[in-house]
Amino acid sequence: MAAEVLARAGASVTVYEQMPSMGRKFLIAGRGGLNITHSEPLEQFLTRYGDKSAALGPSVSAFPPAAVEAWCEDLSQKSFVGSSGRVFPLGFRATELLRSWLAGLEGLGVRLLTSHRWLGWDRATGALLVAANEKNSDQVEPQQLFPDITVMSLGGGSWQRTGSDGRWVPKFQEIGINVHKLRPANSGFLVDWTAEFISKFEGMPLKNVSVQARGNPVPGEIVLGETVRGEMMISAEGIEGGCVYAVGRELRAACDAQGNTTMMIDLRPDLSREQVEQRLNTARPKESTSTLLRRTVGLPAVAIGLLREATKNVLPRQASDMAELIKSLPLQVLATEELDRAISTAGGVAFEELDHRFMLLRRPGVFVAGEMIDWEAPTGGYLLQATLSTAVAAANGALSWWEEEHPTEM
């Protein structure tokens, strides 16, 4: 995206891609349908970036969701809004959009060089060190590059097979740039399931539940986060899914502070606790607990299994206590899954290291964009939107900086 903006402004642009082909993470993102942005009002949209909303706000506002949709249409890929408010290209997949995009870049004269890895800066000259041949790049004598403008989009640390392996981090730290540790975002969380539970329910979804992260930052104090409704999946290692990702930031922070934390699950968010209790009070003689829970409140087998798992198979006998458990089931989570399995990454270059144009204060003429900057967002179009918006902002910032530095050459 940065290359496109620069090329349209008349710059001669070369893209160095470390993988053998372009856009591998873009294709992964669109594997189940390319969610390019979200249709909610911009004011609400910006809140999805949490404490980085103020830092990202100007770039997302300057290249908002409507601009992403228009950009897609310019590539002959009209978009549509799904039932959840998410925006997709009509083709749904990323393949056609990427093919059109790359063809458009080549039409603008952009050189696309694959299998080239950035190895850092030369200490003596400040040159960019780039080596061809991805597999042996650390052993090959690197080229020294002296571009007028450099835009870096080096990615986070998840899905390493797509190229976002985080190997750029120490290169930045060597020259004093503050890079916050790369952490899993939109990731699953580890739970210590029993073998019996996993043998029955691995891979099964819990649909239409609501969840809250619960932390204890001060002994004796309980803090409940935002309630999020959706679907979660039981995995061999723990839990994953949209509503888990949505509260993942709070769960991760609590696990970091406490070693583990508790997530509260409402298995029947459409019913009040009183309604659940009333239904449970209609128990029939000799009716099993599982049958009662299915008949009266419609709990599926996986939800009943989760109730048994969380209570070590000692379920409450009183309807009031069972109702309370159904509405507020505590599940202990131990930690995030490993970074490479996460959908996206938290952490990266601190915003304090950048000026308003996304230029590195310690490296004038070098701009950064995308997931390598310290921000995170839930799934739903917010990730790709900010990636594209920061790329546009970095490219426009680079053009503005160049004009300031070379007024007679513009």
Torsion 354-356-359-365 (CA) sign: negative
pLDDT at 138: 57
Q: Taking residues 162-188, what's their average pLDDT?
A: 95
Mind listing the pLDDT tens digit for each residue in 317-337? 899 999 999 999 999 999 999
CATH 3.30.1050.10 describes domain 2-185+340-409: no
Q: Stretch 60-74: mean pLDDT, rounded? A: 96
Query: Which residues, other chains included, contact 205 with Cβ-Cβ below 8 Å and sequence gap of 6+?
Result: 231, 232, 233, 234, 241, 302
> Nearest CA to 114 among 101, 97, 132?
132
In whole angstroms, give the CA distance from residue 168 to residue 16.
14
The larger pLDDT score, comparing residue 136 to residue 142, is at: 142
Tell whether the model's pLDDT for residue 215 goes beyond 90: no
Q: Contact 198/385 with Cβ under 8 angstroms?
A: no
Can you give the pTM of this predicted structure? 0.89
Give the range among 158-162, 209-213, 223-227, 346-350 with minimum mean pLDDT: 223-227
Q: Residue 327's Cα: distance from chain center in Å?
A: 29
The answer to which of 18-27, 135-144, 352-361 has the lowest mean pLDDT is 135-144
CA–CA distance, 156 with 115 (Å, rounded to integer): 18
* Span 41-57, pLDDT tens digits: 999 999 999 999 999 99
pLDDT of residue 216: 54
List pLDDT tens digits, range 263-317. Answer: 999 999 999 999 999 999 998 888 899 999 999 999 999 999 999 999 999 999 8
pLDDT of residue 32: 78
Rounded-to-integer distance, Cα 81 and Cα 36, Å: 10
Q: Check pLDDT > 70 for residue 179.
A: yes
Between CA 279 and CA 185 the distance in angstroms is 39
Positive or negative, the Cα torsion across 54, 56, 59, 60? negative
CA 207 to chain centre: 22
Q: What type of residue is 92? A: F
d(CA 81, CA 22): 27
Q: Read off the pLDDT of each residue in 133-152 and give the average, rounded to a whole number.
A: 81
Q: Which tokens hold the place of 81?
A: 């809004």
pLDDT at 222 (0 to 100): 47
Report the pLDDT averaged over residues 133-139. Answer: 58
Position 136 scores a pLDDT of 54
Instruction: Report which of 164, 139, 119 is spatially closest to residue 24, judged by C-alpha positions.
Output: 164
pLDDT, one tens digit per residue, over 216-242 is: 544 444 455 778 999 999 999 999 998
Instruction: State both tokens at 347.
Output: 């952490």
Q: Say what the pLDDT of residue 221 is.
A: 47
Predicted confidence band at 409 (pLDDT cuts at 50, 70, 90)? low
Average pLDDT over all residues of the chain: 92
Q: What is the mean pLDDT of residues 62-70?
A: 97
- Contact (Cβ atoms closer than 8 angstroms) between residue 50 and residue 346: no
Tokens of 28: 């992964």
Domain boundaries, the chain: 2-185+340-409, 189-336
